[in-house]
Amino acid sequence: MNLYIHLPTNLKIFELFLENKEYILWWNSKSEKEIAGFFLKNFPWEVMNELSPQYETNFVSLRKLKQIDDNILNNIQWIYYWSDNCEYLAPTKLEVEKALNLYNEANKKYFFKKWKKWFVLVTPYTWNKIIERLKESLDYLNEQWNFEVVINDLWILRYVQNSCPNLKPIVGRLLHKLMKTPLVDTYWNHAHVPWALIKNKTPQQIDIIQQEIIKNQNNFYNSIELSFKPYTKFLDKNNIERVWTDFMENREKLYKKNYEKWIDLYYPWALVFTGRLCDTSAIENPDRWNYATDDVCPRTCWKYDIFYKLKTVWYDLIQRWNSWFRSEINIERLDKDFIYNKQNRIVYAPFITV
């Protein structure tokens, strides 16, 4: 199995990866003392008060990947780069150029691949104010080589199709409207029955109604978007061969060996929700709470990692920038046919950060 790594927007992490790939997958052989020293040197803002639980998740998730393939660290194949959520994190042309230069250096050092196409740019959904910035970045990438681009916005899809013939689109997890929050797993076998359905019903009749609702609910949440024919027709019409989706460990039936399209399976953080409201921006300025980010983004997300200590659940819930994520760890439950289908990819995110 090949390892496809998603690096965030912080070029510092890319530079560390170039210096020594162990710095990104550092927990492979490091002692706790070495890991603590690494964070104090390179990410002091992360340990000012309390270390985020996302790092424990990364320890465990990499261990899970190694259960599938013990040699996985020697099979780094692809670099996905940038964010799919916040438009204010959309890359400038200069940032893409720097990232691509870093990638080319890493390519020579680690991958020994001649083709530049192993670099995949991830783009967010966006409003008008950021579109021009993203157009410049896409135009630059289009001039370089045949690259793949993860797209989460219909306008960006149209622009790539019409103006960037060297770019190959991958549909991101935010482009469709059938996203299924992983929080549903918290109350998987429960249902709140509407009063109109249970009025004047006996307890036995109410139980039958509730079980039917649970059955239908489970069927829906155990279905993947690629089973929805209008969606696959949209993909066919736009010549889309690959779709990006989250791994959710309580829904292994979502993933099987063969679909009409190829799958990029994102791991270990499943997106709960995202939107234009950015609570992170209100940490230092409470007046911004519950307001969409305006023309001036304070980039508070460079400083803070918001997480909740949920004592009654097993997962971690983390906010980064304008989005929430839930840890989904047990990837070894996946069907082996899906894992070893060479057309599918498991895209691993060592960090949720900017």
Asked, as a colleague might, if the bond just before 268 is cis with ω within 30 of 0, I would say yes
Residue at 199 is within a domain: no
> Which residues of the chain carry a pLDDT beneath 70?
1, 21-52, 111-117, 177-180, 185-189, 252, 257, 290-296, 311-312, 353-354
Task: Give pLDDT, residue 239.
Answer: 92
Q: What is the pLDDT of residue 27?
A: 45
Which of helix, strand or coil describes residue 67? helix
Maximum separation of any 2 CA atoms in the chain, in Å: 72
Classify residue 354: in a domain, yes or no: no
Does residue 264 sit in helix, strand or coil? strand
Phi, psi of 165 (to 5 degrees): -65, -20
**Cβ(84)–Cβ(150) below 8 Å:** yes
Helix/strand/coil for 203: helix
274 by DSSP, 3-state: which?
Answer: strand
Q: Beta partners for 78?
A: 4
Residue 187, domain member (yes or no): no
Q: How confident is the model at residue 167, as a pLDDT?
A: 96
Residue-wise pLDDT for 26-85, tens only, equals 544 455 566 666 666 665 555 545 666 777 787 788 888 888 888 877 777 788 999 888
Q: State residue 126's pLDDT score.
A: 86
In a domain, 157, yes or no: yes
Q: What was the pLDDT predicted at 249?
A: 81
pLDDT value of residue 282: 77
Distances (CA, A) of 174 to 141, 155, 211, 273: 22, 13, 31, 10
Residue 193 lies inside a defined structural domain of this protein: no
The reply to whether 186 falls in a domain is no
Please report the pLDDT score of residue 149 as a whole number: 96
The answer to whether position 191 is within a domain reads: no
Cross-sheet strand order for the sheet of 306-308: 269-274, 323-327, 317-320, 306-308
Cα–Cα separations (whole angstroms), residue 351 to 53, 61, 96, 212: 11, 11, 19, 40
Is there a domain that residue 185 lies in? Answer: no
Half-sphere exposure of 112 toward its Cβ, with a 13 Å CA cutoff? 2
Q: What per-residue confidence (pLDDT) applies to 42? A: 64
Domain tally, the chain:
1
Whole-number Å distance between alpha carbons of 124 and 82: 9
Q: What one-character-per-residue DSSP string does 214-226 give?
A: HHHHHHHHT--GG
Q: How far apart are CA 10 and CA 98, in angstroms?
A: 11
pLDDT for the residue numbered 181: 76
* Structural domain harbouring 170: 3-180+228-348
Predicted local distance difference test score (pLDDT) of residue 162? 96
What's this model's pTM, rounded to 2 decimal places? 0.85
Around 153, how many Cα atoms within 13 Å sit in the side-chain half-sphere? 21
